[in-house]
Amino acid sequence: MSLFGLNYLFGQAQNVGIGTTTPDNSAILELYSTSHGFLVPRLTTTQRNAISSPATGLLIYNLDNQRFEYYDGTQWVAVVSSVATVPFNLIASGTNTTATMVVGSGASITLGGGNIEANKFIGTGSTTDAVDLATAEVSGVLPISKGGTGNSTSPGSGQILIGNGIGFSLNTITAGTGIQITNDAGSITISDANANNEVTGSGSANQVAFWNGTNSITGDNGLWWDNGTQRLGIGTSTPSEKLHIAGNVLFTGALMPNGSAGSPGQVLVSQGAGNPPLWTSASSLETDPVYTAAISSIVFDGDAAGGDLSGTYPNPTIANDAVTSAKIANGTIVDADISTGANIAVAKLSPGSNNQVLGTVGTTPTWTTLSTLETDPVYTAASSSIVFDGDAAGGDLSGTYPNPTVVRIQGRNVANTAPANGQAYIWNNTSSQWEPSNVGTVSSVGLSMPTELSVSGSPITNSGTFSVSWNQQNANTVFAGPITGTGTPTFRSLTDADIPDNITASNYLPLSGGTMTGTINFATGQTFPGTVSGTGAQPYIAIWSGGSTLTYDNRLQWSNSENALVIQNSLGLVNSGSGSNYFRTSNSQTTAISYYLPTSLPTGNAFLQTDASGNLSWQMIQTLPTGTNGQTLRYNNGWEATNLIYQDVSNNRIGLNFTNPATLLHQDQGNATATYHKFTAGSTTGTGTNDGFDIGIDNSGNAIIRQNENLPLIFQTNGTERMRLLANGKLGIGTTSIVDDSILVQTNGDVYIDGDLIVTGNIDPKVIYFQPQSTTPNVISKGAVFYDNASDNLKVYNGSTWVSLITQNNLPSQVASVAWKTTGNSGLNESTNFIGTTDNVGFKIKTNNTDRVIVTGSGNVGVGTTNPNSTLSIEGSISTKVSVVTSGVTLDETYHTVLANASSNITITLPNPSTSNVGRTYIIKNINTGNVTISGSIEGSSLLVLRQKESIELISNGSTWVVTSSYQPVPPIGSIIAWHKDFANTPSLPYGWVECNGQTLNDPASPYHNQVIPNLNGDPNGANSPGLSEKAGMFLRGGTNSGTGQYDAFQGHRHSVDPDGALKYSWSYNTYDLSSGNYAPLANITIGDPISDGTNGTPRTANETRPKNMSVVWIMRVK
């Protein structure tokens, strides 16, 4: 039974899963996702405090304090992490003695009316940074007189502050016998004048005294003598045996129980109470394995723990500051890893600006704008999708990352031979591999032709065009082969051998526009142009078989005796006029048939009619009577138009004796006239007026079905008899065998009566079914019974009121008819028939005698909790359906989380948003290389495209699909960023990125497939490359358009020489001429490389203009 329709929940007997169909048994609610987080309610402090009776453990996120908070039953408790910034007013007391709080420069801790309690204050050594405890300090140090001691007197030399039970007073210490008092600056030393000859110290009862100095003794509970039990305890003050050692024991000599040191390899074996153990050989012991490790490898109770542990075994504790993120498997410390009572050291940060993020500079948290952060993408794929150092390379690569070698190109092997300078890899089909080979060069291309032709433009050394032309020849020569034999054709004169004696029809040269003299001889069988040839026979008629050839067909002949054209087995005889109509005979006719036309024309409209001998005669066409639309013809000693059968052409209806049919067949005999259709079966029924079966209407308009025979009237549907009315008037429903007794109607099945059943005789049924009525019947009489749907009771009318028929005997069945049952119900009304109560109490569902679901009186629903504090509270896991699709699909209510796993492009279509799917959510993620197009009514667009690893979450608001969350790897496709490729431990390129090295991209999954990637990293050989790149790489600069390259340049400027002083200067080619006064000799000054100005160091020079930089590898996101 489902109480609520959450199609994304998966429930088991004791827990609920969201995102998984197998929630963990230890959790009442499990949330599982690899691409989404769990979003708790976000409230302000005011909204949080307005929650009525919050449950213990209720979790929220406080928007005012920017933190998680939970309710511990009495108050809201903040949850903070090791990297969170916690305001001073939110730091609670704790017991962590190693925690510190750093108060930044300019910050202060304001106590108000409170106190600061500490074992000690540690200063920095500077009087200006001392703790400010009062307002009367001098140079940052508080005088004793101002320290709250109750004494305002300035102390004298040698005085100390001594408590007197009421306060503190200043007193001078007087040395007693053997005591020396030395008053140095800032200190008082009390010493024993006879200290070198005296033993001093202190201890407690039962402690064993031991020396802790030259003349000093002390005691410790770890060395204890119990004089009452005569027991010595080492490491314990409660010895339970004569010698009780709590801790490890180190033996540098033999262990000699009962005076025996034993033999090598023997072990101690107990001999029972009161007896010393004995050294025993292991072979005489039980067969249980003996641990033979060195004693130093075994940890005993009381041993001191080391490393990250503190205390002693078997119950050590984790040492302070031992657990760090580096020692956690996933490198992350979550809230659950931090004790709620732990003090967390945080530094107070001044508030950042809008849109800044919290980063670190060194080890100091700092607010930083996004523009100054690294733009490297964060790769969130599973570790199986990341290539790590040492992973084996595949495909065309061999070895391990990050330095694999290329062993194949496009799946074809590459020879393991180092190429020489200038060589290229050439495919060797014999060895089936790429091999280095010399390419060779072509310096020029030439063209030579036969002597009959001339060539210009040859040779071509760089670019150009060859031109070929004919050389001039003598008149009356032809280009032909040799006169005899075979050889190269040349221009020569014709000879007799070039013209045959006999010219056949296939090689003669026709003359046109001229004359020919002489004689042309024709050989036998040859023809002259224009000659007609062919063969024939009598009496057949010649027909053309070609352009100049005749033949005949034995189906076409001329009969001299009949003086007629004869066509045998033909498809046509004579064409009638200029059209394509023919008189035709059957091509299968085998007998001789002749038709003889009349010898005269008819006097009017007529047609030909033949007799048995084939004589044709003209017959006159009778004139048809004039009618109206819809009338039909009938022959009554002549043709006449009648309305007896009337056709309504426009509506395709037939009227019988009626000209306005309303249906396909409409019969009307006129006012107050009966009309019937009769069906008879010949002699079986007779064909008279009172025979057969009639269906029609009588003269009063009553519909009549009339069986005139002494036989039953049978009703059938779907080929099966349903009802039979016998000739004697008895009616059978659902049966063909009607009992011949006083029963007039017999049924085989239930009878449903939607109305009153009034019986004046006896009722003897097996079952009587009353149709439930929502209102009381209007027609009532005493004794009437009906089923009241409102009260779910049978009611009987007693003459004045309706009375419910409920007795003690039928009470259980009455209750069962109006209550929900596990076997199903029908005819109930949710407003009155429901599970639950009208009282203000909760409703529970239990399994295994344990509360599973509760609906409180206020309407809150709890799953796994008996105290839901929200409309729906779930303690446990929740799961939703995950659908993996490999081709296009249209989503409906059966989908929620959709994983598109297609290597080619597919389309996922959203249903139309409507009131029927308001609130429905879809989560769609592309997990393969094919693009996924999301089609539908989406806010701001009708199409969205998800590439590999991108996802989106949408929700319907009834009119559009709203995007509530999406993930797309950043930066966007086409971004170019810097990559420190050669930095130690740098992993290989992440998915979707390539180096900007001028390669032609071969990746069908990328929109840049078969395009050239810009070469921004330079050509290692120093040659020019696409994008103006040379041996050195390129810097990037912003602009309104992308992809335009520029060579290095230096801003235009000029140099000048300072004319101060008595120097005279004038300009000459490539030099400056300067002289002292007007008559000083000329001096040549050449402007050379820049030199130091004496302050900023020697200027650096190079073959290019560049800023101070570090080389990086430019990479581009291509998918």
Of 545, 568, 591, which residue sits at a domain end? 568
Q: Tell me, what's the pLDDT at 1094? A: 83
Q: Is residue 953 part of a domain?
A: yes
- Bridge partners of 1084, per DSSP, are 1073
Confidence of residue 191 (pLDDT cuts 50, 70, 90): low
Instruction: Answer yes or no: do 688 and 647 share one domain.
Output: no
851 with 888, same domain: the answer is no
So what's the pLDDT on residue 1119?
79
Residue 1086 lies in a domain: no
Residue 848 maps to a domain: yes
Instruction: Provide mean pLDDT across the span 297-316.
Output: 77
Structure tokens at 880: 């939703």
The model's pLDDT over 64-105, given as tens digits with 9 standing for 90+, comes to: 988 888 888 899 988 765 445 555 555 555 555 555 555 555
Per the domain annotation, does 407 fall within a domain?
A: yes
Each residue's pLDDT tens digit, 770-792: 778 888 887 667 878 888 888 77
Query: Is the pLDDT at 188 greater than 80, yes or no?
Result: no
Cis peptide preceding 1107, ω within 30 of 0: no
> What DSSP assignment string belongs to 56-72?
TT-EEEETTTTEEEEE-
Q: What is the pLDDT of residue 1016?
A: 83
Whether residues 858 and 917 share a domain: the answer is no
Amino acid identity, residue 207?
A: Q
Are 639 and 690 part of one and the same domain? no
pLDDT band at 215 (very low <50, low <70, confident <90, very high): low
Task: Tell me the pLDDT of the chain averaged across its residues.
Answer: 75
The pLDDT of residue 142 is 47
For residue range 718-729, what is the model confidence (pLDDT) as tens digits? Answer: 989 999 988 888
Domain membership of residue 912 (yes or no) is yes
Residue 661 in any domain: the answer is yes
pLDDT digits (tens, 9 = 90+) for 128-180: 554 554 444 444 444 544 444 444 456 666 666 666 666 556 677 676 665 66
Question: From CA 1102, how far away is CA 1088, in angstroms rounded?
Answer: 14
Number of structural domains, the chain?
6
**Residue 817 counted as domain residue:** no
User: Structural domain of residue 860, as residue ranges?
Assistant: 843-874
Q: 194 and 178 in contact (C-beta within 8 Å)?
A: yes
Residues 6+ apart with CB under 8 A from 814: 792, 793, 806
DSSP 683: G
Residue 293 has pLDDT above 50, yes or no: no
Residue whose tokens read 């027909």: 543
Question: Do 495 and 489 meet the contact criterion of CB atoms below 8 Å apart?
Answer: no
User: Do 903 and 959 fall within a single domain?
Assistant: yes
Which range among 30-44, 620-634, 887-901, 1096-1110 shows the weakest confidence by mean pLDDT? 1096-1110
C-alpha 277/C-alpha 261 separation (Å) is 11
Distance between CA 162 and CA 390 in Å, rounded?
72
869 and 939, same domain (yes or no):
no
* 494 Cβ neighbours under 8 A, 6+ residues apart: 478, 480
Mean pLDDT to the nearest integer, 41-53: 92
| pLDDT-derived band at 45, boundaries 50, 70, 90 | very high
What is the band of 609 on the pLDDT scale with cuts at 50, 70, 90? Answer: confident
pLDDT at 650 > cutoff 60: yes
Q: Is the Cβ–Cβ distance between 1118 and 976 less than 8 Å?
A: no
CA distance 493 to 40: 108
Average pLDDT over residues 900-925: 93
Q: Are residues 936 and 962 in the same domain?
A: yes
Q: Mean pLDDT: which of 32-46, 176-190, 510-524 is highest?
A: 32-46
**What integer pLDDT is reported at residue 378 of this predicted model?**
46
| pLDDT surpassing 50 at residue 996 | yes
**Residue 1117 burial (CB count, 10 A):** 21
pLDDT, residue 288, reads 46
Give the E-state strand segments of 726-868 in sequence order: 731-733, 745-747, 785-788, 793-797, 802-804, 843-847, 850-855, 861-863
Query: Can you give the pLDDT at residue 115?
Result: 57
The Cα angle at residue 777 between residues 774 and 780, in degrees rounded to 5: 155
SS3 (DSSP) at 915: helix
Return d(Cα 991, Cα 993) in angstroms, integer.
6
Pairing status of strand 951-956 against strand 1071-1076: unpaired
- Residue 621, pLDDT score: 76
Q: What is the pLDDT of residue 886?
A: 94
Say which residue, 247 or 906, is predicted with more confidence. Answer: 906
660/637 same-domain check? yes
- Phi and psi dihedrals of 619, rounded to 5? -120, 135
pLDDT by residue (tens digit) across 486-525? 888 888 888 877 776 555 444 444 444 445 555 555 555 5
Residue 860 lies in a domain: yes
Report the percent of the chain where pLDDT is more than 90.
Answer: 13
CATH of the domain at 944: 2.60.120
Q: What is the pLDDT of residues 1032-1060, one digit of tens each?
A: 567 776 666 666 666 667 677 666 655 54
Judgement on whether residues 894 and 935 belong to the same structural domain of the protein: yes
CA–CA gap between residue 329 and residue 327 (Å, rounded): 6
Q: pTM higher than 0.95 for the full model?
A: no
Contacts of 491 (CB under 8 A, 6+ apart): 452, 473, 474, 477, 478, 479
Pair 933, 957 in one domain? yes
Tell me the pLDDT band of 680, cut-offs 50, 70 and 90: very high
- Quote the pLDDT of residue 36: 81
Q: In the numeric block, which tokens belong to residue 307?
A: 């490393």
The pLDDT of residue 1023: 47
Q: Any bridge partners for residue 1066, and if so which? A: 1073
DSSP state letters, 155-177: P-TTEEEEE-SSSEEEEE----T
Confidence of residue 55 (pLDDT cuts 50, 70, 90): confident
Position with higher pLDDT, 353 vs 995? 995
pLDDT at 583: 56
Each residue's pLDDT tens digit, 458-496: 888 878 888 888 888 888 888 888 888 888 888 888 887
Q: Could you read off the pLDDT of 563-593 as tens digits, one per residue?
A: 666 666 444 444 444 445 555 566 666 777 7
